[in-house]
């Protein structure tokens, strides 16, 4: 049975990130794409899958380097993901700030992908690929995905396959079947949403995964539709869902930190206070508070008050829990 694409992408990410040197295409194929048999048809299928998977990893921010996989033959092309392009700057905490770490998970909490990771490491080791476990720390996500609908939808997004599922709206007594061309998944306030084109209603829609009350079924062929050019899945979710109220936040950010905030900021201005910048970003309160808290004492919320209150409330809750 062919492995799910979610598992294959995780395996490829681990291989390219954990490898100490450039890994040749043959080694990648043996370790990650073992379900593609040798021969013209299998070779072509592998090439297509590998190119699609590289593009998918680049879309989520992975920087894939190409170089020589053999010290004696320059024409042996290999691939890797440098950790310096993936890691965030070190975050330091004083003793009274360490409680903030309780807000982040230390391991990937989606059981299916955790098993896939273990299988990938065992397989790569069996292939003789040198893996440095320390290089993999940067891909230990802090987000859980417990909804059963997550993985089939994630797979359908990658394959561009239409799906159908029973959906229970809060205002309705019975679920209705929705047919959707999924564009992507977004998360806010601890919930996952799928954004896409509702085939029956002829318009873009957003659906909360926790309200999908049955099996997600993929229908039709892969690559059956295209996502409209320039689509920002998170922006669509914010616009269509009342659960995504957006605010304009003014933050005081220590220079050399807050990389993610700076990348999408409306503006970044040096403050009179040495070592600090003023960074202006937009987003839902819960989403911004999640991000702000990951930077510890390097980010201070100047406004709005709703965001300050949310951050303070969560810090107090963590501190209270730590003192019990």
Residue 6 — pLDDT band, cuts 50, 70, 90?
A: low
Residue 9 — pLDDT band, cuts 50, 70, 90?
A: confident
Where does residue 30 rank: exposed (0-12), middle (13-18), buried (19+ CB within 10 A)? middle
Where does residue 37 rank: exposed (0-12), middle (13-18), buried (19+ CB within 10 A)? exposed
pLDDT tens figures, 307-317: 888 888 878 87
Q: Residue 212: its pLDDT value, please?
A: 92
- Preceding amide of 304 cis, omega within 30: yes
Q: Residue 117: its pLDDT value, please?
A: 54
- Domain spans of the chain? 5-139, 150-240, 246-322
Average pLDDT value for the chain = 75
Q: Residue 319: its pLDDT value, please?
A: 72
CA distance 45 to 213: 35
- Angle (CA) 181-182-184 rounded to 5° is 155
Residue 192 — pLDDT band, cuts 50, 70, 90?
A: confident
Q: Residue 69: its pLDDT value, please?
A: 64
Percent of the chain with pLDDT over 90: 15
CA distance 112 to 286: 27
- The CATH code belonging to domain 246-322 is 3.30.70.120
What kind of fold does domain 150-240 have according to CATH? SH3 type barrels. (2.30.30)
């Amino acid at each position: 049975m062919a492995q799910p694409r979610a598992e294959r992408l995780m395996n490829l990410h681990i291989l390219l990130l954990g490898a100490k040197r450039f890994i040749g295409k043959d080694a990648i194929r043996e370790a990650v794409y073992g379900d593609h048999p040798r021969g013209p048809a299998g070779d072509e299928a592998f090439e297509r899958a590998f190119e699609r998977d590289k593009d998918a990893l680049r879309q989520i921010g992975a920087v894939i380097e190409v170089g020589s996989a053999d010290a004696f033959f320059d024409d042996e092309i290999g691939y890797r993901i440098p950790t310096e392009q993936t890691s965030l700057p070190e975050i330091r905490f004083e003793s009274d700030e360490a409680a903030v770490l309780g807000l982040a998970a230390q391991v990937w909490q989606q059981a299916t992908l955790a098993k896939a990771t273990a299988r990938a490491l065992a397989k790569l080791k069996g292939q003789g690929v040198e893996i440095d476990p320390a290089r993999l720390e940067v891909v230990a996500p802090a987000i859980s995905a417990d909804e059963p609908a997550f993985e089939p939808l994630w797979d359908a997004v990658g394959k561009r396959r239409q799906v159908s599922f029973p959906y229970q709206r809060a205002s309705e007594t019975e679920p209705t079947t929705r047919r959707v061309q999924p564009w992507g998944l977004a998360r806010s306030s601890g919930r996952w949403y799928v954004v896409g084109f509702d085939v029956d209603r002829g318009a873009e829609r957003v659906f909360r995964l926790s309200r999908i009350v049955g099996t997600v079924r993929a229908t039709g062929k892969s690559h059956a539709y295209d996502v409209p050019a320039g689509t920002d899945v998170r922006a669509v979710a914010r616009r269509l869902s009342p659960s995504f109220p957006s605010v304009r936040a003014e933050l005081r950010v220590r220079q050399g930190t807050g990389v993610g905030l700076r990348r999408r900021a409306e503006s970044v201005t040096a403050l009179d206070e040495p070592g600090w910048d003023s960074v202006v970003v937009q987003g839902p309160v819960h989403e911004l508070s999640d991000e702000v808290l990951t930077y510890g004492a390097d980010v201070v919320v100047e406004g709005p008050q709703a965001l300050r209150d949310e951050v303070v409330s969560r810090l107090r809750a963590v501190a209270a829990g730590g003192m019990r």
